Amino acid sequence: MSDLFSRLGSPEWQWIWAALQTFTLIGGFYFVIRQIRLAQVQNSISHLNFFREIWISPAILRARRSFNAAPVVADGEIRAHEDVMCLFFNDIGIAIRTGQVDKVHVVRFFGFFVEGYWLLMSEQIQRCRDRASDPSIYGSFERLYEIVIQENERYGLGTLTASRLGMFVKEEAALANFYLDAPA
């Protein structure tokens, strides 16, 4: 047995030890990278759940319902319920840009709503930008809309048309009323 150990320690066998060290190092890196990726996915899902909870919060539900009661008037004055929705989607856009949320998850859950609210608000937002001479107002919301359109095209999904906006607003109001009127 001692002869075996002395042979393994000889200079002819050094390449085996170097190879084992290399494989161990590569394996360690692989598992560390895998753990980091799993943590990123879990973090993304946690952030998405956070946004989903906000999405059905009373403040957001009242804002969603208000779009039916008070249609958007493209005068450059952002009303409170419009601001709430724009900021919500702007925050999601920022979360995507900073890597906190995976864009595919966001598009799957919020894509339809992003399209609808952007189509409702885009003229209003542009007039607000023009009045303030600030093209960055709700810029992350606009980028989120572009991401949704790109992902829809990538997967061959249709997009919400302007002719369906009236139906979108009514459906949103009905859904918001359902959540707001549901017993706790």
pTM: 0.78
CA distance 30 to 52: 33
pLDDT in tens, 113-155: 999 999 989 999 999 999 999 999 999 999 999 999 999 888 8
Residue in this structure with the two tokens 């190092």, named with its chain if needed: 25
What distance, in Å, lies between the first and last C-alpha atoms of the chain? 74
| Percentages of the chain per state (helix, strand, coil), in multiples of 5 | 80, 0, 20
pLDDT in tens, 53-90: 999 999 999 999 888 787 777 777 888 899 999 999 99
Q: Is the pLDDT of residue 160 over 90?
A: no
Residue whose C-alpha is closest to residue 114's, from 150, 79, 80, 75: 150
